[in-house]
Structure 1
């Protein structure tokens, strides 16, 4: 399996869909499914009945996963960039293609 180019904690921008252009932080990564969860993006709404555990019921909002191809890493100036891997000092590091700077993580 290839190494993940987008990981938990990265700042990403949404490239397509209803939330196009939104920027957020990756809160969860599911590399086997090829999906990521981004804070404040792709909000799913569930109508829930009142139960003993939740006597109020009502609308419950949560962030749904996005396919990893719909997001891109954000550079310091706020523009999307692809990510590649380079070997520096014997370590494999992620590098932003546009700027050439190393990505933490």
Structure 2
């Protein structure tokens, strides 16, 4: 399996779909499914019946997973979506933004 280009905690920009142009932090990555969960993006509403744990019930809003191909890593310099490449710096493999050449992992 190849190295992950998008990781938990990264800031990403949505490239396509109903939330195109929105940015957010990656909450989780689901590599087997090829999906990511981004804060405040692709919010789905679920109608919940009242239960003992939640006597009020109501509408629950939460982020749903979306295809990893729909998001791009936000460039550290400009904030625009960019692709990622890997380089060896000081004997360590680091992610680098293609647009600016800026190191992402330090």
User: Normalised by the size of structure 2, how large is the TM-score?
Assistant: 0.94
Unaligned regions of 5+ residues in structure 1, if any?
none
How much is the aligned-residue C-alpha RMSD, in angstroms? 1.1
CA offsets 1:31-80 (integer angstroms, 9 cap, x no match): 22211111000001000111111110010000001111000011121211
**Deviation above 3 Å: which 4+ runs of structure 1?**
none
- What corresponds to 2:40 in structure 1? 40
1:82 and 2:83 matched: yes
Q: Which residue of the partner structure matches residue 29 of structure 1?
A: 29
Q: Which residue of structure 2 lines up, in the alignment, with residue 50 of structure 1?
A: 50
Q: How many residues align?
A: 105
Gaps of 5+ in 2: none
